[in-house]
Structure 1
Amino acid sequence: MSIDTVTAAPPRAARVATWTYFGLNGFAVGMWVVHIPNVERATGITHSTLGLLLLVLGGAAFIGMQVAGPLADRVGQRRLVPAAGVLLGLSLFGPGLAGSWWTLGLALLAVGFGNGAIDVAMNSQAVVVERAYPRPIMAAFHAMWSIGGAFAALIGAAALKADVPTAVSLSTSGVVCIVVSLAAGRYLIEPPPQPEPAADQPERIAPPRKLVWQLGGLAFGLMLAEGVANDWAALQFRDVLGTSASTAAYAYGAFAVAMTIGRFATDRVAALIGPMAIVRYGAALAAIGLTTVIAVPWVPVALIGWALFGLGLSGGVPQLFTAAGNLDTRASGALMAKVVGLGYVGLLAGPALIGGLTHWMPLNVAFALPVVLCVLTVIAAPVLRPLAAAKD
């Protein structure tokens, strides 16, 4: 962290605005997720068709990330972040109005693209805001995404209980996204202009492609593990431990709550021990947690295992995104798009890979895959050490 950055007044308004976008994104995604069963019934599609359409959504999100990254560097984040938020808000109108598989497919193309675009754009803005602070603040932004999702679950459940039409719920959520995105955009900031190198100084060298892929690989592994918990934690309780559906919900709840708490705590810990240690020891804790889930078929201990898994995973991805955004401030968005995109592929691939493995082995044994990836992350975490030193 440079002296100029430390002595300058931190942009608190931009920090709050960026918090808002993270929370808004989590809220938008959460409102779509809680209404998936209603949308499935309204369109008359099967589970298998829904699965294919969700892959369409994921593919569109990846494309949105790759488009938004370079665009953020070209047109500026103050323009792109609100525009992506408005696009996401408009896209929420579609699923509630869809009446067939192909209209839902078109709607999910828009939802995925908008979600991918705002994901990269707001993470790029978070890196810029963090540079103006004397300590890490990235993990708290990701915690706000989780808070937004929790609000969506509560509001969505209330709307479903009151029999509010899906089109009304999603369209209202879309309007909220549009209004808040436009209102918060004025408080965002742009990175300071980079001085041209002096005549006697060499031009700045672009970061090695290998380093970008290393960060992306770590993001892939950690987000794959997160995706496994999202889709399989409750099923592991129900199918392996034989609990009721209501008790099974506590498995994912323990993971999600621990991850949210961990993200709020990570920034202060990262300021003390550094990003490399957060990634390394967090991945080790996650491996221990999931190994506990696998090895001890007792509900209280398994709940502790899922909580440790969430706590261990909570801080790693924000450190990787920060590192990617600071590799080259001239192309921060484009670099983040690659790392965030690879992480997102892992998030989507994890549940599917576990599902495929369960055709040949028990679910608990299939969980060895994310454990191995966490162990590999422990081994590869030192890639962050020179990046942290360069930032200081």
Structure 2
Amino acid sequence: MVEATLTRARVATSSLLFTNGFLIGAWVVQIPAIMDRTGIDPATLGTLLLWMGAWAWLGMQAAGFFVDRIGSARAVTVALVVMSLVLPFPGLSTNWVALGASLAALGAANGVVDVAQNAQAVTVERAFGRPVMSSFHAWFSAGGFGASALGGALLAVSSPVPLNFLVFAAIGLVLALVVRPHLLGDDVQDPELHGVRPPWTGRILLLGALAFALMLAEGVAYDWSTVHLRDELGTTDALAAVAYGAFSLTMFGTRLVADGIVARVGPGRFVRFASLVGAVGLATASLAPNAAVAIVGWAIVGLGLAGCVPQFFSAAGNVDPRHGAAIIARVTGMGYVALLSGPSIIGLLTHWVPLTTAFVVPLALCLVASALAPRALRRHP
């Protein structure tokens, strides 16, 4: 019975991350169409992504406060429902003001989801007693790939953007409610710890900083791969979506096998070499002479970065299990600000340099992460 319960919890947690990736992917694949609908340029998009990231950070800090109190299962369900309900609003926006308000709500909801789902994942991983975190994040990537496939198909048949978002939102609501009964609900912390904040330590800061570096690189793929193909290489919106799909597909496949590799070589050594592969992918995409090579480059980015960030989340959740969600909130807060708003740096840089030149920033951060990851992830710091 215990084994069956853990299996159901693992499937349900995987479904959580799939749903989150699916809903975020719904926004990503529609970005070029929304830029046309609202009349914004890349620089304005970058500013709006920064705004969205700020609200995501606020959502994460709020989540870190109450997930330890009410449990990750309840928190993530409520947050996913809210995220699904606000998802259609970017698709209804016709100017930058309305889009900014919509992205604030979406970012805040996503911030709560990020912390709560990772807290649930750490709880399940601890119950299994072996690395399974990367496999959970594989399903986030699968959600992105699913969104790419569905979104690309809808765009190819000229389906209205607002309708596209409604379709995604309905699917998200159903998935959130179906998985709720199978999540583990035993991660509510001792009431005596309420109001006690865990101290900041050098290790927590380093975990957060490296999560920031690698998730900024992920964010570039999420938010700029489609724009790169369409605006720099002259492809259609539908073909541009293939780049994001290739990135998500390699992320998914690699994360399915990453846990076994991490168990053998250790998380520090794994991230050291995998982040170098991510840098190679970014260089390939930046220098690509055509869409085919660019798609291969974004696929290599996914191959390299896939298993890296889950190692930081797993480490954060185990620094002090008494304050698991609060510490996860700090590390994910630093990381997901980069994922959601770090790409705004790329948008701002396009004022002065070409988009492909701006990709040097995430490439350099991958190299920094490669150098420092063994220290951050050593088993006995």
TM-score normalised to structure 2 length: 0.83
Q: 1:230: Cα distance to partner?
A: 3.6
1:318 paired to 2:313: no
1:340 paired to 2:335: no
- Equivalent in 18, 34, 40 of residue 46 of structure 1: 40
Q: How is 1:263-278 mapped onto 2 (pairs within 5 angstroms)? A: 263-278=255-270
User: 1:234·1:252 contact (CA, 8 Å) conserved in 2?
Assistant: yes
1:245 paired to 2:235: yes
Match of 1:353 in 2: 345
- Equivalent in 160, 170, 175 of residue 175 of structure 1: 170
Code of the residue aligned with 1:245 in structure 2: it is T
| CA deviation string 1:245-296 (max 9, x = no partner) | 2687765555443322211221111111111111111122323444556678
Q: 1:35: Cα distance to partner?
A: 3.8
Partners in 1 of 2:278 and 2:95 — Cα distance?
Answer: 41
User: 2:268·2:376 contact (CA, 8 Å) conserved in 1?
Assistant: yes
Q: 1:66: Cα distance to partner?
A: 1.1
| CA deviation string 1:342-386 (max 9, x = no partner) | 112222454333444455556555443333322221221123444
Q: How is 1:209-220 mapped onto 2 (pairs within 5 angstroms)? A: 209-220=201-212
Q: 1:153: Cα distance to partner?
A: 2.4
Further displaced range: 280-289 or 308-317:
280-289
Q: How is 1:57-68 mapped onto 2 (pairs within 5 angstroms)? A: 57-68=52-63
Q: How is 1:217-232 mapped onto 2 (pairs within 5 angstroms)? A: 217-232=209-224
Unaligned runs of at least 5 residues, structure 2? none
- Equivalent in 42, 50, 53 of residue 55 of structure 1: 50
User: 1:70·1:331 contact (CA, 8 Å) conserved in 2?
Assistant: no
CA spacing shift, 1:184–1:218, aligned 2, 3 Å:
same
Partners in 2 of 1:314 and 1:331 — Cα distance?
Answer: 26
> Over the residues paired in the alignment, what is the CA RMSD in angstroms?
3.6
CA spacing shift, 1:18–1:225, aligned 2, 3 Å:
same
Further displaced range: 319-328 or 348-357:
348-357
Q: 1:29: Cα distance to partner?
A: 1.7
Partners in 2 of 1:355 and 1:45 — Cα distance?
Answer: 15
- Equivalent in 65, 68, 71 of residue 70 of structure 1: 65
Q: 1:142: Cα distance to partner?
A: 1.4
User: 1:238·1:248 contact (CA, 8 Å) conserved in 2?
Assistant: yes
Code of the residue aligned with 1:141 in structure 2: it is F
Match of 2:27 in 1: 32
Partners in 1 of 2:91 and 2:299 — Cα distance?
Answer: 34
Match of 2:144 in 1: 149
Partners in 2 of 1:95 and 1:300 — Cα distance?
Answer: 30
Aligned-partner SS, 2:128: coil
Aligned length: 374
TM-score normalised to structure 1 length: 0.81
Match of 2:323 in 1: 331
Sequence identity, in percent? 43
Further displaced range: 140-149 or 177-186:
177-186
Which structure has more RCO (C-alpha within 8 Å, separation ≥ 6)? 2
| CA deviation string 1:211-235 (max 9, x = no partner) | 1110010001111122233445566
Partners in 2 of 1:306 and 1:91 — Cα distance?
Answer: 29
Match of 1:18 in 2: 13
| CA deviation string 1:72-105 (max 9, x = no partner) | 1111112111111111122124334456554443
1:368 paired to 2:363: no
Code of the residue aligned with 2:169 in structure 1: it is G
Aligned-partner SS, 1:132: helix
User: 2:206·2:376 contact (CA, 8 Å) conserved in 1?
Assistant: no
Larger radius of gyration: 1
Code of the residue aligned with 2:265 in structure 1: it is I
Q: 1:155: Cα distance to partner?
A: 2.2
Match of 1:201 in 2: none
CA spacing shift, 1:82–1:238, aligned 2, 3 Å:
closer
User: 2:67·2:188 contact (CA, 8 Å) conserved in 1?
Assistant: no
Q: 1:18: Cα distance to partner?
A: 0.8
Code of the residue aligned with 1:153 in structure 2: it is S
Further displaced range: 360-369 or 153-162:
360-369
Partners in 1 of 2:291 and 2:34 — Cα distance?
Answer: 33
Further displaced range: 176-185 or 218-227:
176-185
Q: How is 1:367-386 mapped onto 2 (pairs within 5 angstroms)? A: 367-386=359-378
User: 2:49·2:340 contact (CA, 8 Å) conserved in 1?
Assistant: no
1:135 paired to 2:127: no
Code of the residue aligned with 2:79 in structure 1: it is A
Match of 2:279 in 1: 287
Match of 2:117 in 1: 122
1:81 paired to 2:76: yes
Partners in 2 of 1:37 and 1:250 — Cα distance?
Answer: 13
Further displaced range: 230-239 or 207-216:
230-239
| CA deviation string 1:156-206 (max 9, x = no partner) | 33344555544444334323322322221111113467799xxxxxxx995
Unaligned runs of at least 5 residues, structure 1? 1-6, 197-203
